[in-house]
Each structure stands twice: as structure tokens, then as C-alpha cells.
Amino acid sequence: LNMSSSVMNISEHLSCPLGFGHYNAVDICILETVVIVLLTFLIIAGNLTVIFVFHCAPLLHHYTTSYFIQTMAYADFFVGVSCLVPTLSLLHYSTGVHESLTCQVFGYIISVLKSVSMACLACISVDRYLAITKPLSYNQLVTPCRLRICIILIWIYSCLIFLPSFFGWGKPGYHGDIFEWCATSWLTNAYFTGFIVCLLYAPAAFVICFTYFHIFKICRQHTKEINDRRARFPSHEVDAAGETGHSPDRRYAMVLFRITSVFYVLWLPYIIYFLLESSRVLENPALSFLTTWLAISNSFCNCVIYSLSNSV
């Protein structure tokens, strides 16, 4: 009875984005709670595992991309920690005066953390591009000091780009509003959305498409040259040279390409809905909730891709 009454209390005070009527509102709120609690647990557990593996395997630090992968793991871990806010609000509703501040801070933090992940993916693609196109000067171009400076700049840029939302210029992008104030009083702004797209989403997507296109083009050319040499000179030396050539780089690039592809597949519905809602073309609470938490689930998917794509 206590559990039933607390669930009824949740349905009365919280906005349930997927609720389509009074009779199924309680069931929908329970479904939302289960989804959010499960994702929160998976994100925290998965990224803690990645952080633990990097801590216990010093050899992984020899890869320059490990700096960015660890940064993504910490960012995704804090996404999971941040998701404890809506989880706790669903399990125990607080009628505090600072609901608007809580909503703004939560939306800002989630947006900054995912911006860090997006920027890290773009930097990883640039790193792999330099490794493939400039193998002889790569160690001089990409140093640990420059990598650390790059990561610091990523965090600073991500924090600054969403700051205008605190001054009333639009919503940073968090939908699926668990808090009623977020759903009813905090509206998206088409200009602010365009600002975010132009300074974050579009440049990151362009850099990733450009670099991976050239990476696979170069790898395809190298593979063709190796096959031609094998056809002309079928010797063990050529086979050995081919096996130790660019195939490891190609496999490594494929792993990172899968991570990037899954990121954009999960985030594309969210970005499209974000643009449509900001333009007042479409407002659907169910789509808002589903696209938001589909995008946030990427924080756990990265861990799965690491383990399935590369045994190291």
C-alpha cells in the first residue's frame, strides 16, 4: 500500500512524458523509472570498469588515443552519476523551491559532459588521421603535453558553449523532462539551438567524416599496393611486410569508427527532435523522452563496443 501510494504521488507531482491518460499514468511512470534506474546503473558500472581497466593496464597508456578514451569514460561516468538526480526525483519527489535551479544545473551538466564525449571523438579521428598520413613525424606532432592541453581546452570549450542557457537564452538540450518546471517553463530557442549546432554538432561531424573518409581511402590504397606486390613477387618477405603494414592501423581505425558511428546513430534522433522542437514544428512528450534517453544510453554502449571490438 505504501509503495502504491508513493507511485500515485509520483504520477501526481511529476511530469510523465509518456503518459497518454489518467488510467495508465502510474504504469508509464513506473516504466520511466525502470528505464532511468537501469540506464543509470549500466552507465556507472560500465564506465567504472573501463576506468579500472586503464588503471590496472599501464601498457594501454602507450596509445595516444587512451587519453581521449579515458576522458570519455570519466565524462560518461559522470553522466551516470548525474542521472541519479532524475532517478532520486522519481523515487522520492521533493517539493523544494529550487526545482528550476536543479533542472537548469542538471540540463547544463548533461549537455557539457556529452559535448566532451563528442569533442573527444572528433579529436580521436584527427589523431588517427595524423597517425596514418604522417607516420614519421607523428611522435613529434602528438606529444603527451599537447594531448593534455587539448583535453583541458575540450572541457573549457564545452563548459563555455552552454553557459548562455543560464542567462535565459534557450535550453541547452535536455528533453524528456522529469521535472515539471523543465517541461512547462523552460522552452527551447531556435537561435540558441542553431548556435549549438553550428559551434558543436556540425564541426564535430564534419571533422569525423573528413578524417575517416581519408583514413579508409589511404588504407584501401595501401592494401591494393600490398596485393599488387604479392602478385608480382610472391615471397615470404612481401607477405611479412604486408602483415606488419597498415592492417593494425586499419583495424584500430575500424574500432574507433564503430564507436563514432554508434554515437551518431544514437544521437541523431535526439538532435533532429531538438531542432524540430526549437523551431516549434514538433512537440511530442513521448518522442522527447525516448530520444533523450536513447542518446544518454550511448554512455554505456561505448563500454560494450570496447569489449566486443578489441580484446586488448
- In this model, does residue 6 exceed pLDDT 60? no
Instruction: Return the exposure string of 12-23: e unless at least 16 CB atoms fall within 10 Å of the residue's CB, then b.
Output: eebbbbbbeeee
The predicted model gives 117-122 an average pLDDT of 88
Give the count of alpha carbons within 13 A of 124, CB side only.
25
Between these two residues, 11 and 230, which has the higher pLDDT value?
230
∠ CA 71-289-121, nearest 5°, is 25
Q: How many angstroms separate the CA atoms of 63 and 222, rounded?
A: 22
Triad 70, 65, 271: Cα angle to 5°: 70
Position 135 scores a pLDDT of 84
Q: What is the DSSP string of 202-224?
A: HHHHHHHHHHHHHHHHHHHHHHH
- This prediction has a pTM of 0.77
Q: Domains of the chain (ranges plus CATH)?
A: 22-229+248-310 (1.20.1070.10)
Mean pLDDT taken over the chain: 77
Other Cβ atoms closer than 10 A to 180: 15
* Chain segment 269-310, per-residue pLDDT in tens: 888 888 888 888 887 777 888 888 888 888 888 777 776 666
Q: Out of 43-57, 70-84, 90-104, 119-133, pick the least confident.
A: 90-104
For residues 27 and 267, the model is more confident at 267
Q: Is the pLDDT of residue 12 over 50?
A: no
Minimum mean pLDDT range among 121-130, 170-179, 282-291 = 170-179
